[in-house]
């Protein structure tokens, strides 16, 4: 599975913004298809069709939300920020949070 561009979408009711992840490609290798039609494919996740806005407490159809911006997951800035985030979180993953500076 390859990630696609993340979309910044806007709630049709209150204009609150959300980030929606997309995929560029996927496959059905190792998928299970049940007799009722349900498919479980680890390399092809099911897209979110219906969502809930915590800002206005309304349900929304994702396809009705306006796309404000698309963010390239391979963009250098996104890559650098993600790497910094992961490196910081590695302290917690390895139970070394005491090594983090207490100064802000």
- Could you write out the DSSP letters of every residue in 69-94? EEE-TT-HHHHHHHHHHHHHHHHHHT
pLDDT at 13: 94
Is the separation of the CB atoms in 51 and 62 below 8 Å? Answer: yes
Is 64:10 a contact under the CB 8 Å cutoff?
no
What are the start-end ranges of the H helices in the chain?
76-93
User: CA 73, 76, 78, 80 torsion: positive or negative?
Assistant: positive
Q: What is the pLDDT of residue 103?
A: 57
State pLDDT tens for residues 38-61.
999 989 988 889 999 999 999 999
Is the whole-model pTM more than 0.75? no
Residues of the chain with pLDDT under 70: 101-104
The whole-number pLDDT of residue 79 equals 77
């Amino acid at each position: 599975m390859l990630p696609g561009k993340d979309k910044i979408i806007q709630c049709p009711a209150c204009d609150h913004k959300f980030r929606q992840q997309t995929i560029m490609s996927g496959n059905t290798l190792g998928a299970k298809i049940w007799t009722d039609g349900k498919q479980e494919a680890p390399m092809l996740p099911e897209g979110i069709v219906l969502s809930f806005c915590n800002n206005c407490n309304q349900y929304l159809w994702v396809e009705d939300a306006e796309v404000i911006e698309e963010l390239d997951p391979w963009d250098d800035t996104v890559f650098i920020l993600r790497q910094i985030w992961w490196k910081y979180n590695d302290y917690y993953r390895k139970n070394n949070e005491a090594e983090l500076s207490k100064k802000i």
